[in-house]
């Protein structure tokens, strides 16, 4: 029996155990997926091996720590320095990022996305910005503090803090901050958000399982919006494929994982 886990702080809200266990149980794969509350990101690697894990997911705020913990990082995660999926490969910790492709899957239903504003500058924002750039999408980033913006400058994004923000029009605005995750905070001052919402076609939040105060604003303004559930499904399917080393069919994984959203 293989053991998998999700690491985060907070982690009790995570639906990942339900999603992955739904796949393992219903496709008869001998594995179990649990959750691990981790305060100190520098303890990720030793905790992973102490628990005897075959693989793991990593959520807020440890995705950059996960990148640093890896013996080897593969694929898109190397570009962004952010890891959300860990695999134990013969005692070595291998890191991947499935968030960005998960988000691209989630916004397939939105037409003609050429210009995006990202709220937040953390690990998820980095992954999304780099992925959008690969699609030649114009990207702006606004964050409450300046410290993390240099990554986005290097990617050739427009970058702002709340004080320096210059409004433009956008096809999509996506909240990648954790504001609204375990509180009722907005990701930026309300007046600023009002002007941004007047100038976008679509809104997305990467937080799932609740109508965040940000999505509530979009709802009140009659703007088409979606929460992070489809992104969660998209990244989960890709992570599960890595966990089972592609021994299960992607379509079967997706079906069983999607079913867990109804539970």
Sites of contact with ligand NDP (CB under 6 A)? 59-61, 63, 99, 102, 120-125, 143-145, 148, 176-179, 181, 185, 187, 206-208, 228, 231-232, 235
**Among 25, 45, 63, 114, the one annotated catalytic:** 63
Nearest distance in Å: CB 201, ligand NDP: 21
159, HSE (Cβ side, Cα atoms, 13 Å): 20
Nearest distance in Å: CB 66, ligand NDP: 10
Helix (H) or strand (E) holding 224: strand 224-226
224-226 vs 72-73, strand pairing mode: unpaired
Nearest distance in Å: CB 238, ligand NDP: 11
- Whether 63 is catalytic is yes
- Report whether 22 contacts 247 (CB < 8 A): no
- Of the candidates 170, 171, 169, 149, the one whose C-alpha atom is nearest the C-alpha of residue 160 is 149
Cβ distance to ligand NDP smaller for residue 255 or 261: 261
Burial label for 73, CB within 10 Å (0-12, 13-18, 19+), is buried
CA 79: distance to chain centroid?
A: 15
| Chain residue at closest Cβ approach to ligand NDP | 122
Q: What is the DSSP code (8-state) at residue 145?
A: S
CA 104: distance to chain centroid?
A: 11
Cβ distance to ligand NDP smaller for residue 6 or 248: 6
Cβ distance to ligand NDP smaller for residue 13 or 89: 13
Q: Retrieve residue 18's tokens.
A: 């339900």
Nearest distance in Å: CB 180, ligand NDP: 8
Cβ distance to ligand NDP smaller for residue 175 or 200: 175
Q: Could you give the residue numbers annotated as active site?
A: 63
């Amino acid at each position: 029996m293989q053991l998998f886990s999700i690491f985060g702080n907070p982690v009790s809200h995570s639906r990942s155990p339900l999603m992955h266990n739904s796949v393992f149980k219903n496709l008869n794969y001998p594995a179990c997926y649990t959750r691990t509350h981790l305060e100190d990101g520098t303890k990720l690697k030793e905790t992973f091996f102490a628990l005897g894990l075959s693989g793991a997911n990593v959520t807020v705020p440890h995705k950059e720590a996960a990148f640093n913990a890896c013996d080897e990082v593969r694929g898109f995660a190397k570009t962004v320095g952010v890891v959300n999926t860990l695999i134990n490969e013969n005692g070595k910790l291998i890191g991947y990022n499935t968030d960005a492709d998960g988000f691209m899957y989630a916004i397939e239903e939105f037409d003609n996305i050429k210009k995006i504003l990202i709220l937040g500058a953390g690990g998820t924002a980095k992954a999304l910005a780099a992925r959008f750039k690969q699609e030649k999408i114009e990207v702006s980033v606004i964050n409450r503090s300046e410290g993390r913006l240099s990554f986005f400058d290097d990617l050739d994004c427009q970058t702002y803090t709340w004080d320096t923000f210059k409004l433009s029009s956008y096809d999509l605005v996506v909240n990648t901050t954790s504001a609204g995750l375990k509180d009722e905070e907005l990701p930026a001052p309300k007046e600023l958000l009002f002007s941004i919402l007047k100038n976008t076609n679509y809104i997305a939040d990467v937080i799932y399982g609740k109508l965040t105060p940000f999505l509530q604003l979009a709802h009140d303004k009659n703007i088409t919006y979606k929460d992070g559930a489809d992104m969660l499904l998209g990244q989960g399917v890709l992570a599960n494929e890595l966990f089972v080393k592609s021994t299960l069919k992607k379509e079967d994984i997706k079906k069983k994982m999607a079913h867990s959203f109804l539970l």
